[in-house]
Structure 1
Amino acid sequence: MKYILPLFCLLTGMIACKTAAQQRLYIQKEGRSQQPWKLVWEDNFNGHTLDTTKWTRIPPNNAAWGKHMTSDDRCYALKDGKLYLRGINNPDTTKDPRPFLTGGIYTKGKFAFQYGKVEIRAKLECAQGAWPAIWMLAETDKYGAYPRNGEIDIMEHLNYDSIIYQTTHSYYTLDLKQTEKPPHGGTAALRNGEFNVFGISWYPDKIVFLLNGKETFTYPRVKGVDPSQWPYDQPFYLLIDQQLGGNWVGKVNPDDLPVQMIVDWVKVYQ
């Protein structure tokens, strides 16, 4: 009996771990892409605090997009069923020397999916140096270090632009410079100052970018080229962040701050 109990506990723990992994990774079944979409995961931000079973506040990092990221409460708010992610002037540079602070969330380690449809309803405020983004990265390093696992930019917005950028990045596009075989990104006009629905429909052979329910750009899987062209055969997690500054967007105008991205809901279908 003294040997049976530890074995039972071990097996129970293994089953629990497997169940947790299955709940965290949503792998679309083969052939499912021909069926009607079914909602598998969502957040409507109806609580008073961020649901930490789904999201983590993005920590700062050395990338251009992440150098101002913070967990500071002043960059986050939930009210009236909406999430507010803010870019602000740092009110106390004695404790943190960075001039700006930005809020962002991701599902890394908590939710990732392979194939399906994702839509995010959000409103983007404008400012010089504002760079809000909704995007996806691979949950594991299946093919090695970045950019070998790819990146899917559902939406990037710069400054006061009336367009968004929708792009794929990978070793194939960044290192091998194959940005036109096939074209790896496009732009689409958005309703500035209003809520828009940003999304993709992701299949084993293509990624279809969406804006307000309309197809805007498609990135196909191509045969006969370097295999790094399609790292999109693995689970990806979501990132939503109100970035500030960087070579692409340009310098930040402190007088334009605060600026925010207001997120109404996130829905994932398979």
Structure 2
Amino acid sequence: MSKYIVIIVAIILVGCKSSSSTISKKDWKLIWEDNFDKEEIDTAKWTKIPKNNADWGNYMTSDSECYEISDGKLYLKGIVNTDTIADSRPFLTGGIYTKGKFAFQYGKVEIHAKLESAQGAWPAIWMLAEEKKYGNYPKNGEIDIMEHLNYDDIIYQTTHSYYTLELKQKTNPPYSSTAKFNKEVFNIFGLEWFPDKLVFTLNGEETFTYPRLKDVDPSQWPYDQPFYLLIDQQLEGAWVGKADPEDLPVQMIIDWVKVYQ
């Protein structure tokens, strides 16, 4: 084999390696971040999540009582509504998303945050598809980087799709897992997203992997399109149960968000 062929083969192998899911941590390059070092939420990056009809969105609001930035941290709050004349809902919750402002496909996202506990509290860090490539929900999938319930000392890390929800394929492969964490301190909740797998992390350590499978219904892998970020301090829902007003207010405190590719 001539030295020129050797060089060409080497180049091809390097190229294949860099595009696979074997990217090393040193290869990640920061492409987007927010350190919440401004006096207000950066509206070029985030929008306050409006009320919606989903189980998690019943109390979402843009009310300033549910948002605070202090000492370089964002506080998203779940509170008892003190003005039910202006808004009849018993509770209000704060949340932000990058919908229409920032979405990415493949890479690593990490969120440094602290979770407070309360009965009925359901803080979440998650991702949804920017477009409807495959149709309406749940056909485009959902990636739940972190969900926490009540006073638990575990977090849930989950994928949802037409494959898991409608076809009920929750064990081939397993679609969800839990990880024990110290809720008294800030933790780094993360995801490493490749063309062939989703790797969930906690404080930089792998906790759960959802692989792309061959020879199954194609709805198993809708994760081949840009997704945007959602971070919200939810209250109540069929999964978490009723909120206890005596436990409120409750907060999710966000120190920073970083996205790498």
1:129 aligns with 2:120: yes
Which SS does the other structure have where 2:163 is aligned?
A: helix
Secondary structure at the residue paired with 2:199? strand
In structure 2, the partner of 1:16 is none
Distance 2:114 2:240 in 1: 19
Q: 2:90 corresponds to which letter in structure 1?
A: P
Equivalent of residue 237 in structure 1, options 228, 235, 248 = 228
Q: Distance in 2 between matches of 1:220 and 1:89?
A: 41
TM-superposition CA deviations, 1:57-111 (whole Å, max 9, x none): 0000011100100000000000100000000000111111100000000000000
Q: Are 1:120 and 2:106 counterparts? A: no
Equivalent in 126, 130, 136 of residue 139 of structure 1 = 130
Q: Across the two proteins, how many residue pairs are aligned to each other?
A: 241
Matching residue of 1:53: 44
Percent identical: 73
Cross-structure match for 2:19: 31
SS for the counterpart of 2:143 is strand
Query: Using the alignment, how far apart are the partners of 1:95 and 1:43 within structure 2?
Result: 32
TM-score, normalised via structure 2 length: 0.91
Hey, what does 1:8 align to over in structure 2?
none
1:99 maps to amino acid: P
Q: Deviations over 1:14-36 (max 9, x none)?
A: xxxxxxxxxxxxxxxx8275361
**Residues of 2 paired with 1:253 and 1:212: CA distance?**
30
Please point out which of 181, 195, 217 is paired with 1:190.
Answer: 181
Distance, in Å, in 2 between the alignment partners of 1:57 and 1:130 is 19
Question: Who is 2:251 aligned against?
Answer: 260
Give structure 1 stretches of 5+ with no counterpart.
1-29
Work out which of the residue numbers 80, 86, 94 in structure 2 matches 1:89.
80
Deviations, residues 121-165 of structure 1 (Å, cap 9, x unaligned): 000000000000000000000000000000000000000000000
Q: Distance in 2 between matches of 1:79 and 1:32?
A: 40
In structure 2, which of residues 179, 183, 191 is the aligned counterpart of residue 200 of structure 1? Answer: 191
Distance across 2 between alignment mates of 1:249 and 1:80: 31
Two-structure CA RMSD over aligned residues (Å): 0.9
Matched, 1:152 2:109: no
